[in-house]
Amino acid sequence: MGNENNLALNKNVAVLIGGVGGTKLASGLIKVVAPARLTFIINTGDDFCHLGLKICPDLDTLMYTLAGSVDPDLGWGMAADSTTTLESLEQNYGVEPWFRLGDKDLATHLLRSQLLRQGQSLTAVTGCLARRLGLSARLLPMCDEAMPTIISTAEQGELGFQEYFVKHRWRPVVESIRHQNCEKAAMSPAVSAALEQADIILIAPSNPWLSVAPILAVPGLRAALKRADAPVVAVTPIIAGAAVKGPTAKIMAELGLTVSAAAVAEFYAGVIDGFVNDCRNEPLPAPNLRTVRLDTLMTDTIAKAALARNTLEWIAGWAA
């Protein structure tokens, strides 16, 4: 079914999102909301400088997903990509290829880095890249300043996000997480406007500690969520005591939390007005929070759109 026949709701929807975890819901939302009414506020705590290039994994993962060009097996990077450049770096210069940058993907990092060096903001550059890939939805970095996520681990001390996640394959035990430079960052005018103009604000089923916490740490953003007229609703990343993919459950256990949707809802206390729990989970022991239990597994395109539609219709039912 095309988007034209399938616009469940004529609402402005803003989505806090990061990592591969949230992209399934984003793919569903794009089917049921007019893309021009969708704004994604994306984690940039994973960003880093590598081989002289600015790499923004979460921006690119979402951009490629919505453009239909993401690698379907990895969930990040570009489909049908090669690694000739990385191989040459290793064979000719002995550079360890620990972070896989495909040849097609490199085009994005080259152009982004050049536009940034010319003085454009990350918000402007992201908009430019997304438009050139044909996207009508708005993709906004959470802020324009670099605000790298630093993971303090038991075995390796402090690690930059991609060192922890890719080089060490999220094996080290997480002791704490901090957001470097956050005191120098600020909510951008574009993010501020998106939250003000939203009819519904969603928190995608992304990793709350790695992917959403950096967004909430941007100075002014929590206050803007409180001020917003729109209801703020999170979707659980925990289904039946486990995460679908990635380190969410492992990190929760390491931080001394029960691996449950209730612990996620508790993490978002003071931010959310509603919570989408999974139908396989226990009901939440949170009487003051509006909750619904839906199938949040999103195994295929139909399930992704169904969760997006059911979530938005549930919210529209109680938020005037």
Residues that bind ligand FO1 (CB under 6 A): 18-20, 46, 57-58, 60-61, 76-77, 99-101, 105, 162, 165-166, 211
Closest to ligand FO1 by CB, 127 vs 274, is: 127
Which of 50/184 has CB closer to ligand FO1?
50
Nearer to ligand FO1, 56 or 261 (CB): 56
Residue sitting closest to ligand FO1 (CB): 19
The arrangement of strands across the sheet holding 138-141 comes to: 138-141, 38-42, 13-17, 200-203, 232-235, 274-278, 290-294
Provide the minimum distance between the beta carbon of 60 and ligand FO1 in the complex, in angstroms, as a whole number.
4
Closest separation in Å from C-beta 152 to ligand FO1: 18
**Contact predicate 170/129, CB 8 Å:** no
Structure tokens at 262: 């209730």
Please state the closest distance from residue 296 (CB atom) to ligand FO1, in A. Answer: 19
Q: How far is the CB of 313 from ligand FO1 (least distance, A)?
A: 29
Of 100 and 227, the one with the shorter C-beta distance to ligand FO1 is 100
Residue carrying structure tokens 């999974």: 278
Q: In this complex, which beta carbon is closest to ligand FO1, that of residue 211 or of residue 236?
A: 211
Least Cβ distance, residue 169 to ligand FO1 (angstroms): 7
Spatial distance between the Cα atoms of 211 and 216, rounded to a whole number of angstroms: 10
Name the strand (E) or helix (H) holding 196: helix 189-197
Quote the longest CA-to-CA distance of the chain: 62
Distances (CA, A) of 234 to 201, 202, 264, 278, 291: 9, 6, 9, 12, 10
